[in-house]
Copies of this chain bind each other. A is one copy, B any other.
Amino acid sequence: MPMKLTILGSSSALPTSERFPSAHVLNAHERIFLIDCGEGTQIQLRRNKIRFGKINHIFISHLHGDHVFGLYGLLSTFNLMGRINPLCLYAPQNYDSLLFSHLKDFDINLNFEIVFTPLKNNDPVIILDDKYLTVTSFPLQHRIPAFGFLFREKPHDRNIIKECISRYQIPVVRIPAIKKGEDFVTDDGVLIRNEDITLPGPKSLSYAYCSDTKYSNRLMSFVKDVDLLYHEATFDRSLSSLATATCHSTTKDAAKTAMDANAQTLIIGHFSSRYKDIKPLVEEAREIFPRTFPAIDGKTYEIGYIDDP
């Protein structure tokens, strides 16, 4: 299970007794990425048995309280638990000064470093690039500056066909390069094409987080061909005027973006508290994009392997 997503909160600004405010956890190669941090995130992390010490990267989409009011408590808890490892925080520009000022007001002196990456660009920017994946931020269209995040695994190595190793007497030292796609030349000078001695490796997976945003036809290009698209759907399609007025999306907007982006799967969430039952919202979205699933607090989705509706 190389990439899996756990929903910690699926509500919009008003939480309900069943739904916490926004927070997602992406587990990629056993590293934990926290995306948004609504009130109660640390409680949801505990309930879902996610180890606090493994969280080294936190992404904040925008500075509305339902996406960030859990951060103070979480940082305070990190501190009380004796954290010393640096924490990478990606959030709209100037949030670092607000954060540090607020922690100071509350007698919280962090014993670990916060490495802050300000989000400010109007175009996609790679904000994290490591051995396994890249994370790209891209602009959303909300009432205040807001950013989405695309997590994309780097291409996996190709698998070498075992019998080819002896057939062509391939030295062990050449195998890593061949797995990366190089052709092989025998001692007799014969070129063996890479595709004749390897098979494709596992598909590289990707996850995109889009909340909060109104519909924008620019968005689909940022999340093109994504495996799992999370897109807010605060309102049902009958409330499109309210969605436009508040810079949020309807089920139809989310499904249209997923379809136009050629996403494999769509999860909708950030549901208005007016909806006691979210099945009708999912059904609306499935009329346009059949592979739609609802965000449910505490549920984990294996990216690339989500069951058919």
Spell out A's residues near B (CB within 8 Å). 13-17, 20-21, 39-40, 42-43, 46-47, 63-66, 68-70, 72-73, 76-77, 80-81, 98, 102, 105-108, 143-144
B39 touches A106 (CB 8 A): no
Residues of B within 8 A of A144 (CB): 107
Closest 9 A/B residue pairs (Cβ): A40-B40, A39-B73, A17-B46, A17-B47, A69-B73, A65-B76, A65-B106, A98-B105, A15-B43
| Cβ-defined partner of A77 (8 Å) among B13, B64, B68 | B13
- Count of identical protomers in the assembly: 2
B39 touches A43 (CB 8 A): yes
9 A–B pairs (Cβ distance < 8 Å), ordered by A: A13-B77, A14-B81, A15-B73, A16-B46, A17-B46, A63-B106, A64-B107, A65-B72, A102-B102
Bound-state Cα–Cα, A173 to B105, Å: 57
| Cβ-defined partner of A108 (8 Å) among B43, B65, B72, B143 | B65
Nearest B residue to A48 via CB reads B17
Residues of B within 8 A of A81 (CB): 14
